[in-house]
A and B are shown apart, each in its own frame.
Chain A
């Protein structure tokens, strides 16, 4: 049984806007990187937008989440500012991490976004610990850990889910099964098809959802967050989705069969939702067009602002190694 979440048309248009913002943010970042304006790695979230937007729709202030190397979508869905995200990708001082993290470590602690993570599976215990602190403080908060199918082969996954189930921690484990762990197809890296099957090993509830259907994701998120907030423990949610691009920018992803790519491109989460909006939900084509324009304008302005931001001063290289530093810490 899944919870019923009823949305108004305006709320639905907002879901679409968020998904589009992620899509266009990533496309623009790819272009900026191709121009040489972004120095480090980029792992685009394109194709998976409905998962981040659907799950984060059910979060409140005081909730927390951890992300992955493919983290921009989760951060935007949590309400982060694309200006400061581009500034971070540009390695500028006013970026989220003051130019010290880049894509792989971007964080917005004020929004409970506990960071992208450069280590596959690295964020899973962090989110579990955040859930422990919420349980200890009886805050009513929930934690969410996003990760991919590849991360479910890491020890952090096993150790964390075992403890979360044992202690009934308020957490959602959201596996975005995009069929590939880096360059390796799921059937070559694990002998199960449904990651949700692994929940049984922890006596945990496991659910499968169409990760390209934002409202379906919202429904499972609503139920899982309600259970977590009520002290009924964690849920493993497997969202079936697809990574439209390679593992990172520059990976041509030639290891994927064309039929598979074609199949999933027809199931683009934005196209699917736009069709429902204009059909079933009676949205005006002008309203969709207005969203498209506003997203373009917002991102153009964001990238322009980011490009004008100052580079970090070299003297900042040893700042923030410690909160409470000591004399000569930089050299000693």
Chain B
């Protein structure tokens, strides 16, 4: 039986792109012999050596800033931010430098850079190691923002991101990695995936649930539950938030007439707000009900499991909210 985890996917994508192009290198904290907190860079150090693996001190601004500077000189760096929460320490280099250099210099040079960020809850990882901050990056012109939900998408999108000429923020959900420190899985070939093409994970006719990263899997489980009650939910994964597959989503809304968006970030100001606003204005004629947004409560992520499960959307909370929505929306 083939084993191919999300962590395998990330590792293989980087390794294959490093093999193809010596200008690809990885830079980040503890990515060397230790293999990284989540074991993602395990074996990369042995295989690609120091020349393509730059294990840094704990210096997030420098991790990103050096990657940007090297990219300006023609490299294709893959920077790792161990927890997306730590990206707040590197925001100047991401937002003021990487995102803007191509534009504000009149296109003189590009910044072909991938910043991988480990996002979302890890289960009681609490307020500073659990956030879903994608909405902070989707609002910055010049960045592309990816959020893969499956191993295949993670590999194909990461390969495409490394080949892309623009700065790309690549979110990886820590609970999707599929086991820490286990043996490396099988090599599964996956072609680079074009950005801006969503994916239907489950066909349905009554309601479209848009979701990504780990919440997508909660949404799929909730959809199975709802199916037994006669509610047919289509689960649609944008895979890339910027660019966003509006055509694909519009087609799904046309079919179901109802839209629910579920993500782990708080509802207020989350990327779901952007999707909802767009759909409400551009798909108004196809909508039979107001758009429903499901996300975290407006609170930091708490430590206690009982509190964390209250703050974050779960399979149960998604099923309950969609059930109530369908009763209102019939």
Residues of B with C-beta under 8 A to A323: 102, 107, 110, 112, 165-166
A64 contacts B73, C-beta separation under 8 Å = yes
Against B, the Cβ 8 Å flags (1 = close, 0 = not) of A96-108 are 1111110001011
Partner of A332, one of B70, B75, B96, B244: B244
Partner of B69, one of A99, A130, A322: A130
Question: CA separation between A131 and B72, bound complex, in Å?
Answer: 11
Residues of A with C-beta under 8 A to B196: 326-327
Question: CA separation between A6 and B65, bound complex, in Å?
Answer: 37
Residues of B with C-beta under 8 A to A37: none
B69 contacts A119, C-beta separation under 8 Å = no
For chain B, residues 92 to 132, give those with C-beta under 8 angstroms from any C-beta of chain A: 92-93, 96-97, 101-110, 112
Chain A nearest CB from B71 CB (Å) reads 7
Question: CA separation between A129 and B74, bound complex, in Å?
Answer: 11
A136 contacts B59, C-beta separation under 8 Å = no
Given A160-B62, A329-B243 in contact, is the A321-B69 Cβ separation under 8 Å? no
Q: Does B236 contact A (CB under 8 A)?
A: no
Among the 9-residue stretches A49-57, A120-128, A205-213, the one with 4 or more Cβ atoms under 8 Å from chain B is: A120-128
Q: Does B25 contact A (CB under 8 A)?
A: yes
Q: Does B195 contact A (CB under 8 A)?
A: yes
Q: Which residue of B lies closest to A107 (CB)?
A: B105
Residues of A with C-beta under 8 A to B104: 97, 100-101, 105
Q: Does B310 contact A (CB under 8 A)?
A: no
Residues of A with C-beta under 8 A to B25: 136
Q: Does B141 contact A (CB under 8 A)?
A: yes
Q: Does A114 contact B (CB under 8 A)?
A: yes
For chain A, residues 275 to 332, give those with C-beta under 8 angstroms from any C-beta of chain B: 319-324, 326-329, 332
Chain A nearest CB from B247 CB (Å) reads 9
Partner of B61, one of A105, A159, A324, A327: A159
Among the 9-residue stretches B50-58, B201-209, B317-325, the one with 4 or more Cβ atoms under 8 Å from chain A is: B50-58
Question: CA separation between A126 and B111, bound complex, in Å?
Answer: 11
Residues of B with C-beta under 8 A to A99: 106
| Tally of A-B Cβ pairs under 8 angstroms | 151
Chain A nearest CB from B24 CB (Å) reads 11
A129 contacts B68, C-beta separation under 8 Å = yes
Q: Does A155 contact B (CB under 8 A)?
A: yes
Given A119-B92, A132-B69, A322-B142 in contact, is the A163-B56 Cβ separation under 8 Å? yes
Partner of B65, one of A96, A125, A134, A319: A125
Partner of B73, one of A107, A133, A328, A332: A133
Question: CA separation between A124 and B68, bound complex, in Å?
Answer: 11
Question: CA separation between A124 and B141, bound complex, in Å?
Answer: 23
B105 contacts A109, C-beta separation under 8 Å = yes
A163 contacts B69, C-beta separation under 8 Å = no
The 7 A-B residue pairs with the shortest CB-CB distance, nearest first, are: A129-B69, A125-B65, A98-B106, A129-B66, A159-B62, A323-B165, A126-B69
Cross-chain pairs A/B with CB under 8 angstroms, 25 sampled: A96-B106, A97-B105, A100-B105, A107-B109, A109-B72, A115-B101, A118-B96, A119-B96, A122-B97, A125-B93, A128-B62, A129-B69, A129-B70, A133-B73, A134-B73, A156-B92, A159-B62, A160-B65, A162-B62, A319-B107, A323-B166, A326-B196, A326-B243, A327-B196, A332-B246
B residues contacting A by CB (< 8 A) are 25, 51, 54, 56-57, 59, 61-62, 64-75, 77, 92-93, 96-97, 101-110, 112, 141-142, 144, 164-166, 195-196, 242-244, 246
Given pairs A64-B73, A159-B62, 4 additional interface contacts (CB within 8 A):
A114-B69, A130-B70, A156-B65, A323-B165
